[in-house]
Structure 1
Amino acid sequence: MTADIGLFEAIYTARSLRHFKSDPVPQELITKVLDAAIRASSGGNTQHWTFIVVRDAEKRRQIAAIYRKASDYASAVYAARPKPDHLTDEQFAQFLANSGYLWDHMADAPAILVPCLTKREPPKRASLPDVVQARYADHLANVQRISGSSIYPAIQNIILACRGLGLGTVITTNHILYENEVKAVLGIPDNVATFALMPIGYPTRKYGPLTRKPVSDVTYADSWGTPWPDATGN
């Protein structure tokens, strides 16, 4: 285990890592990562999450094959999208290469973590006040939109805990195109949804620093379009 690092060092250096050593990750470290995950908030404090840690080589191979199939779709989408303005041609090519590596090497990670949420049925329309019934369709659409808010904070904790423990990981969601096949491999019930695949292992590549747009480029003050001051106060 590595020495403890500060919170902000972890935030500023936790890169998406996709290249791993074959060394197994001790169970106590995975447990520590998961214990960090469950410290996150969840909607209504329901804590209706479940985490599947896949270490069996054959199951990892099967999941990786499904992920590879789904990633063919993702590669077509990436190819059709324009390059983000803030990336150079070299940086964008490196991003595509790193993503492509994982498409072919998901099974090489010694563990694949699958964060899940149990689906919660909404209240029956007739049981709600008239003012809510009048917007019930909007309510259902909003529930669908925000469902990830009960699992993605836990996923961010996983990313930071891995960084603090000298591990690497990345969040990827391509498999959701074939989620039923992944659920069949892992025996996941119909009323449970998966929200990511997270390969975890000892990385063969370095952590950050990370390159990001300045805060002033992505933040407005009080209303859309009103600039947020840059680091110089301007």
Structure 2
Amino acid sequence: MSDVTEQGDIGLFDAIYTMRAIRRFKPDPVPDALLRKVIEAAGQAPSGGNRQPWRWIVIRSAEGKRMVSDLVKQANAKAAEARAAGQDRRPAPTPAAAPGADFAESLASVPVIVIACAQAPVSQGPWSVGPFGQTFPGVENLLLAARGVGLGGCITTGFRWMAAEFKERLGLPDDVEPTCLIPLGYPLGADGERHGPKMRRPIEELAHEERWGGAISF
């Protein structure tokens, strides 16, 4: 394991309680050693049967980032069409998502884009969701490690409207599926675009004891 760090390693709970979704970045490149460190940390996540189904596509070239940006724009357009047609019944984006309005365009200039993928047999019946979901502990490891060395990032899955096109452009085999996209870089530092304390719902609104609606006693 590399011991490279950009800032003194912070405690785990400090990282958890101060890590924000970062979508705006300084133009400074991410050093190879730091990039390797956070990807290595991602691979330390647990997985069922230690299968380690995650795979990481790391994009740093201008051509690659422009390709991702263009496909995300197309995915956003598809999502808007589906919402207008009543085919996408998810809640409309909240005001908190407003900073992501220009997100697709900004992907062309972020320092690094990491595309998390799951590798698993093409057909697993009811277990197909397993490898897909098991990539996310690795993604969280990656983001916490990034926080620990002064970087930032966020998870986005909207590109899945163009998943087939992503697979083709990235040369992914049939048994590899892209699960989420993570831009990485140094936080720009504007309001709401830096790590720090954040507002979250109290646990009493989120946790239930024994069954749904049961008030917690801890």
Q: State TM-score, norm by structure 1.
A: 0.80
Report if aligned partners of 1:59, 1:185 keep a CA contact under 8 Å in 2.
no
- Listed as ranges, the gaps of 5+ residues in structure 1 are 85-91, 124-139
The equivalent of 1:223 in structure 2 is: 211
- Listed as ranges, the gaps of 5+ residues in structure 2 are 1-5
- The reply to whether residue 206 of structure 1 matches residue 194 of structure 2 is yes
Cα distance, 1:82 vs structure 2: 5.2
Report if aligned partners of 1:18, 1:101 keep a CA contact under 8 Å in 2.
no
The equivalent of 1:129 in structure 2 is: none
Cα distance, 1:75 vs structure 2: 5.0
The equivalent of 1:145 in structure 2 is: 129
Cα distance, 1:174 vs structure 2: 1.2
Amino acid at match of 1:208: G
More helix by share: 1
Cα pair distance change 1:75/1:228, threshold 3 Å = farther
Cα pair distance change 1:122/1:188, threshold 3 Å = closer
Cα distance, 1:183 vs structure 2: 2.0
Amino acid at match of 2:31: P
Measured in 2, the distance between the counterparts of 1:39 and 1:166 equals 20
Cα distance, 1:200 vs structure 2: 0.5
The equivalent of 1:35 in structure 2 is: 40
Report if aligned partners of 1:37, 1:158 keep a CA contact under 8 Å in 2.
yes
Within 5 Å, which residues of 2 pair with 1:1-234? 1-75=6-80, 77=83, 92-93=94-95, 95-121=96-122, 140-141=125-126, 143-204=127-188, 205-229=193-217
Cα distance, 1:48 vs structure 2: 2.6
Aligned residues with identical type, % of pairs: 37
Which is higher, the Rg of structure 1 or of structure 2?
Answer: 1
Amino acid at match of 2:66: R
Amino acid at match of 2:210: D
Report if aligned partners of 2:151, 2:187 keep a CA contact under 8 Å in 1.
yes
Amino acid at match of 2:75: A
Measured in 2, the distance between the counterparts of 1:186 and 1:148 equals 18
